[in-house]
Amino acid sequence: MTTRVTSSRVVGREAELAELEAVLADASAGRPSIAFLAGESGVGKTRLLSEFERRATAGDPPARVIGGDCVELGEGELPYAPIVAALRPLARQHDPVLDGLPAATRAELGALIPGLGGEAAASVRQLEGDDAAQARLFEALLTLFDELGRDRTLLLSIEDIHWADRSTRSFLAFLARSLCDEHVMVVATYRLDELHRRHPLRPLLAELERDASARRIELAALTRDELREQLADILGAQPERELLGRLWSRSEGNPLFTEELLAAGLDGRGSLPPTLRDALMVRVERLSDAAQHVLRVVSKARRADTDLLADVTGLGRAELSAALREAVASHILAVDDDGWYSYRHALLREVVADDLLPGENSELHLQLAHALERRASERGEGAHLAAGIAHHYYAAGAQPAALAASVRAAEAADKVHAHGEAAALNERALELWGHVTDAEEVAGIDYVELLKRTAFDQGAVEEVARKEHLLKKALSHVDKEADPLRAARLMEALARTQWTLNRGADGMETAARALALLPDDKPTMEKARLLGWLSKARMLQGKYVTSLELASEAIEEGQAAGDTLAEAVARNARGISLVGLGEMDEGVSELRRSLQMARERDNAQEMGSAFSNLADALNASGHTREALAVVEEGQRVLTDRFRTDWLKSMVAEFKFQLGEWDDAEAWMPSRERRHVGTALMYIMLTRVNMALGRGDHAAAREYLEAISQYVADSSEPQFLGAWGTLSARLDLREGDIESARAAVDEALDRIEFCTEDASRIVRLSAIGVAIEADAAQRARDLGDDPQPALARAEIMLARVRAAAEGDRPVERGWLLTAEAHWTRAAGEAEPTLWAEAAEAWEALEWPYEAAIARFHEAEAHLAAGDRQAATDSAGFALATARRIGARWLAGEIEGLCARARLQFDGLVDEIMAAGMPESADDDHGDEPDEEPFGLTPRERQVLMLVSEGRTNREIGDTLYMAEKTASVHVSRILSKLGVRSRTEAAAVAHRLGLDAASGTGRPASGA
Ligand SMILES: Nc1ncnc2c1ncn2[C@@H]1O[C@H](COP(=O)(O)OP(=O)(O)O)[C@@H](O)[C@H]1O
Ligand SMILES: [Mg+2]
């Protein structure tokens, strides 16, 4: 009875195939993307995908196709199922690309596919946060895909993602964010009818489909004509009109329904059954008992090989093969290349599974669990087998066995960093715990341990609130008197968790309570680590004095308890605190020790922290070149073991400081990489700094806004300070004095009130003086009173002076700059002060700040009437600005020179020729993209006419625009200049040289 059930040709779908092929062509050109195929079950997603895969493989040039299916097995139980399936053939065929991967990448992948990896970097893994481990696995997969796509474009298909496990979902999200120029196309299919309102895929899809590079293709049912084609192919002849009509009204063009209805009704026995269920059951009931038995087992197992089927059904080999042949011949089961049987369509499986009686159902699950356990004891238990066993015991209602299996399966999932699945399995174990007698013995661990494991898994998938709850519950089951060490360890975890929840005060209190539990008479590792953590937390808050006290205690305790890790943490905190308090040399040497200890422990996480903090300390004490060398080394040492994006951005930050901007930009981690929390803030702030240097205000604004919420929630001066400084600089460049002031005030408020972070106070207040200098100047231009701005400038300057005390070269640079701005505010800019500031920056090798100071020096010379000195300073400033690529600054200086008619007579060329490399980017050379007050070229034309006293009508006539349009321009200009009338606008234009008489003009601000 091997009549054909399926059409040999793909009917229709030409438009969809064309679209998919276009996406593939994009991927081949280095524009990777994700396409989603959505549609109801049976509509033809899989068929379309296989046709597309066939064409891609046969294409010119051919693509490399890999893929896997998501399997429905209850939420969160089969970690990375489709990815594992996609990679398995590569491992089996020993694909040469695998051998070419770095050892660390192979080791990561080995966690998913045994046999792929070399030896795993276990020591690193154990000491790291789970997040980092999963991130590394994802990075490793991305590296693999990138490599796979090098010779042939990679097409990765993931079927039925409505059943995707949590880890696979995170991986998809990661891919969407991380793909940037790889030759990779991802196709994912999902069932529309499966996505109920609270389906976990929904938020992810919403996020992914919004992405510009993502495509969504929704598959509709076949049209009536296409249905006719399908029938004609299956029947080998044009269908009769009546048959076509009946199938059309029942299947509504769903090709799977059509096939089943046809198959059930074709042999003339009876009429067409009314539903898919009836149609299929008619066909199943015609099969032999053995075949029906096999179908029932597969309906619960989902996938099974002959060994498993023989074990569960008890059928002899011959009988079993006959039964399987029957089921395949009738197009109900299908067999894959590895000899695994499954339903040819999931809907058919559901029909058979739903038809089981309750008793039959649990019996089958129990048999499957037993069979899988036997298999596990013979072949070793991987994460998938373990998850399957746990699932079947649970579904069978066998509670003790389900408890034990869930705990084991969670352990296996943790090993492959599938913490979401591990969390789900452990949560299930927690649910079963109370229903099982002697649970502890059955599970092999005690209740507190189970709670703790669940908590860590939940934390790893960012369910931080759940983590806190579970830790608290675990604590409530620990007898603090009898086992204070265990309680303290849990409390340290709880304290850190509360810190990440932005409840620092709770965290501190928890840590203090934990400390109180510990014995005074003997040193413990627990106490050392708690003290070390507290010291670091205080350091991050800028409370250096307290941090130092805690660090000393932690060091003493750690030494007594023989725990060098706690000591390394404490010395790290101590070093930064010392630097913060002005003890530069001692701080730096403390950080060197911390680095040394972390290296001896070979602890990657602590090494990363020590490298970056040592470099920060060196930079803060004026040794930027040395700082750069330290982070470069850290990056080199750790790159194979660790995600070094933080260190890379530091390399970029220091290079930027040193004026090597092109290089700096090349070091920045790709924009597409996934960053969260503190790393995100740091990387974005570094980007803002660079964008501002180049004069790309839109980008700077975008980056600032992207992290504003994080910064608002943070209590760390390093982020509060940088955000305030950079926002103010941007606002000032755009002429928005009010916002600049607000940014500085807010940051100062938060830092001054509760930290000892003097260097950030210096930095912010120095900008504060610059803001008031601009404000005072503007007031004078408008004929307003400059006194309020001067008063504010004075307060800001006093702050800088107070906070910059001591022998700190960087703070001295800011102090000199602020003093110079102060004279600018007073209307008597003092060139010698600007020269001093410039020299201070030059001594630090910070050419950008130096060039800004030289520019102001030139302005001050001009105001004092010394044109020769002005020419010299402007020449230096311009040469530097061009060399490093500070386009906005170069534009300002050129504007100043044009207004003042300064002649360089080759001076700039001379300076630039004297050993300094030409700025790579000169396409903006003559046409600076910076406009004063953010005026567009058109608006500048309009302003010029306004300053000549023209009316809107006259402006319109001159510039060939409607009077209405001219009036819109004028009001926009007034608001950009912050003035109320056309006369005031004319005054500002005149001062800035923007009026008709002065040609190209520039504003004075260069904060
Ligand atoms: N365009 C088509 N032309 C011919 N047969 C099709 C077409 N689309 C689907 N089918 C058939 O319909 C059945 C169900 O299709 P399938 O791709 O498995 O559905 P889905 O993956 O959307 O659930 C399969 O037997 C398939 O061969
Ligand atoms: Mg399908």
pLDDT in tens, 961-993: 667 667 777 877 887 777 777 887 888 777 766
Question: From the CA of 269, how far away is ligand 2's center (Å)?
Answer: 29
Question: From the CA of 599, how far away is ligand 2's center (Å)?
Answer: 51
Task: Identify the pLDDT of residue 1.
Answer: 39
Per the CB < 8 A criterion, the answer to whether 162 and 201 are in contact is yes
Residue nearest to atom 9 of ligand 1 (CA): 44
Question: From the CA of 346, how far away is ligand 2's center (Å)?
Answer: 7
Task: Identify the pLDDT of residue 642.
Answer: 52
Residue 928 pLDDT > 50? no
Residue nearest to atom 16 of ligand 1 (CA): 44
d(CA 587, CA 620): 11
Average pLDDT value for residue range 768-791? 95
Question: From the CA of 347, how far away is ligand 2's center (Å)?
Answer: 9
Token readout for 855 is 């520019």
Token readout for 262 is 């046809």
For the stretch 730-765, what's the b/e string if a residue is b when 16 or more beta carbons lie within 10 angstroms of its beta carbon? bbbbbbbbebbbebbebbbebbbeebbbbbbbbbbb
Task: Identify the pLDDT of residue 268.
Answer: 45
d(CA 379, CA 70): 24
Mean pLDDT over each residue of the chain, to the nearest integer: 86
Task: Identify the pLDDT of residue 266.
Answer: 62
Question: From the CA of 974, how far away is ligand 1's center (Å)?
Answer: 64
Average pLDDT value for residue range 98-125? 67
Task: Identify the pLDDT of residue 998.
Answer: 46
Token readout for 326 is 């029957």
Average pLDDT value for residue range 690-716? 92
Question: From the CA of 265, how far away is ligand 2's center (Å)?
Answer: 24
Average pLDDT value for residue range 755-774? 95
Token readout for 962 is 């409607």
* Ligand 1 probe mutation, 217, 256, 332, most atoms within 8 A of CB: 256
Task: Identify the pLDDT of residue 640.
Answer: 57
* Ligand 1 probe mutation, 4, 16, 47, most atoms within 8 A of CB: 47
* Ligand 1 atom at minimum distance from 43 CA: 22
Question: What value, to the nearest 5°, has the Cα angle with vertex 909 and ends 905 and 912?
Answer: 145
* Ligand 1 atom at minimum distance from 41 CA: 23
Question: From the CA of 40, how far away is ligand 2's center (Å)?
Answer: 9
Residue 899 pLDDT > 50? yes
Question: From the CA of 473, how far away is ligand 1's center (Å)?
Answer: 51
Residue nearest to atom 7 of ligand 1 (CA): 44
Per the CB < 8 A criterion, the answer to whether 621 and 583 are in contact is no
Q: Which ligand is nearest to the CA of 257?
A: 1
All residues at 6 or more sequence positions from 787 whose CB lies less than 8 Å from its CB, including other chains: none
Q: In residues, how long is the chain? A: 1007
* Ligand 1 atom at minimum distance from 222 CA: 1
Question: From the CA of 42, how far away is ligand 1's center (Å)?
Answer: 6
Task: Identify the pLDDT of residue 912.
Answer: 64
Q: Which ligand is nearest to the CA of 192?
A: 1
* Ligand 1 atom at minimum distance from 189 CA: 21
Q: Which ligand is nearest to the CA of 16?
A: 1
d(CA 288, CA 266): 19
Question: From the CA of 699, how far away is ligand 1's center (Å)?
Answer: 47
Question: From the CA of 336, how far away is ligand 2's center (Å)?
Answer: 15
Phi (first) and psi of residue 190, to 5 degrees: -150, 155
Q: Which ligand is nearest to the CA of 347?
A: 1
Residue nearest to atom 13 of ligand 1 (CA): 256
Q: Is 305 helix (H, G, I), strand (E, B) or coil?
A: coil
Most confident of 364-373, 703-712, 956-965: 364-373
Task: Identify the pLDDT of residue 994.
Answer: 66
Task: Identify the pLDDT of residue 842.
Answer: 93
Task: Identify the pLDDT of residue 1000.
Answer: 37
Task: Identify the pLDDT of residue 937.
Answer: 67
* Ligand 1 atom at minimum distance from 40 CA: 22
Question: From the CA of 577, how far away is ligand 1's center (Å)?
Answer: 66
* Ligand 1 atom at minimum distance from 11 CA: 3
Q: Give, as one character, the DSSP assignment of residue 866.
A: -
**Residue 597 Cα distances to 537, 539, 556, 636, 786, angstroms:** 20, 19, 15, 18, 57
pLDDT band at residue 124, thresholds of 50, 70 and 90? very low
* Ligand 1 atom at minimum distance from 47 CA: 17
Q: Is 270 helix (H, G, I), strand (E, B) or coil?
A: coil
Residue 922 pLDDT > 70? no
Residue 269 pLDDT > 80? no
Question: From the CA of 75, how far away is ligand 1's center (Å)?
Answer: 26
Task: Identify the pLDDT of residue 381.
Answer: 66
Of 19-33, 167-181, 467-481, the range with the lowest mean pLDDT is 167-181
Task: Identify the pLDDT of residue 125.
Answer: 38
**Higher local confidence (pLDDT), 382 or 738:** 738
Question: From the CA of 221, how far away is ligand 2's center (Å)?
Answer: 14
Task: Identify the pLDDT of residue 460.
Answer: 72
- pLDDT tens-digit map of 499-510: 777 677 788 899
Question: From the CA of 721, how far away is ligand 2's center (Å)?
Answer: 53
- pLDDT tens-digit map of 573-606: 999 999 999 999 999 999 999 999 999 988 777 8
Q: Which of 67, 37, 78 is nearest to 166 (CA)?
A: 78
Q: Which ligand is nearest to the CA of 15?
A: 1
d(CA 344, CA 327): 10
Per the CB < 8 A criterion, the answer to whether 626 and 849 are in contact is no
Q: Which ligand is nearest to the CA of 38?
A: 1
* Ligand 1 atom at minimum distance from 13 CA: 1
- pLDDT tens-digit map of 529-556: 999 999 999 999 999 999 999 999 999 9
Task: Identify the pLDDT of residue 1006.
Answer: 46
Task: Identify the pLDDT of residue 931.
Answer: 54
Task: Identify the pLDDT of residue 496.
Answer: 84
Task: Identify the pLDDT of residue 197.
Answer: 75
Average pLDDT value for residue range 386-402? 94
Question: From the CA of 153, how far away is ligand 1's center (Å)?
Answer: 26
pLDDT band at residue 420, thresholds of 50, 70 and 90? confident
Average pLDDT value for residue range 149-177? 87
Question: From the CA of 39, how far away is ligand 2's center (Å)?
Answer: 9
* Ligand 1 atom at minimum distance from 12 CA: 1
**Higher local confidence (pLDDT), 475 or 271:** 475
Q: Is 29 helix (H, G, I), strand (E, B) or coil?
A: coil
Residue nearest to atom 24 of ligand 1 (CA): 256
* Ligand 1 atom at minimum distance from 49 CA: 17
pTM to 2 decimals? 0.64
Residue nearest to atom 1 of ligand 1 (CA): 11
Residue 121 pLDDT > 50? no
Say which amino acid occupies 96. P
Task: Identify the pLDDT of residue 794.
Answer: 96
Q: Which of 508, 503, 506, 510 is nearest to 489 (CA)?
A: 510
d(CA 105, CA 866): 63
Q: Which ligand is nearest to the CA of 48?
A: 1
pLDDT band at residue 251, thresholds of 50, 70 and 90? confident
Of 102-116, 298-312, 460-474, the range with the lowest mean pLDDT is 102-116
Residue nearest to atom 4 of ligand 1 (CA): 10
Residue 948 pLDDT > 90? no
Q: What pairing do the DSSP bridges indicate for beta strands 215-218 and 33-39?
A: parallel
Question: From the CA of 922, how far away is ligand 1's center (Å)?
Answer: 57
pLDDT band at residue 888, thresholds of 50, 70 and 90? very high
Q: Which ligand is nearest to the CA of 160?
A: 2
* Ligand 1 atom at minimum distance from 331 CA: 25
Q: Which of 655, 742, 647, 733 is nearest to 697 (CA)?
A: 733
Task: Identify the pLDDT of residue 313.
Answer: 94
* Ligand 1 atom at minimum distance from 230 CA: 4
d(CA 317, CA 310): 7
Residues with CB under 6 Å of ligand 1 are 6-7, 10-13, 39, 41-47, 230, 255-256, 259, 345
d(CA 628, CA 673): 23
* Ligand 1 atom at minimum distance from 254 CA: 12
Average pLDDT value for residue range 413-439? 90
Q: Which ligand is nearest to the CA of 70?
A: 2
Of 262-266, 553-557, 644-648, the range with the lowest mean pLDDT is 262-266
d(CA 28, CA 22): 10
Q: What pairing do the DSSP bridges indicate for beta strands 154-159 and 64-69?
A: parallel
Question: From the CA of 47, how far away is ligand 1's center (Å)?
Answer: 5
Q: Which ligand is nearest to the CA of 44?
A: 1
Residue 107, beta-bridge partner list: none
Residue nearest to atom 8 of ligand 1 (CA): 44
pLDDT band at residue 139, thresholds of 50, 70 and 90? confident
Task: Identify the pLDDT of residue 1001.
Answer: 35
Token readout for 538 is 């205080």
- pLDDT tens-digit map of 48-72: 999 999 999 998 889 999 998 887 7
Task: Identify the pLDDT of residue 521.
Answer: 87
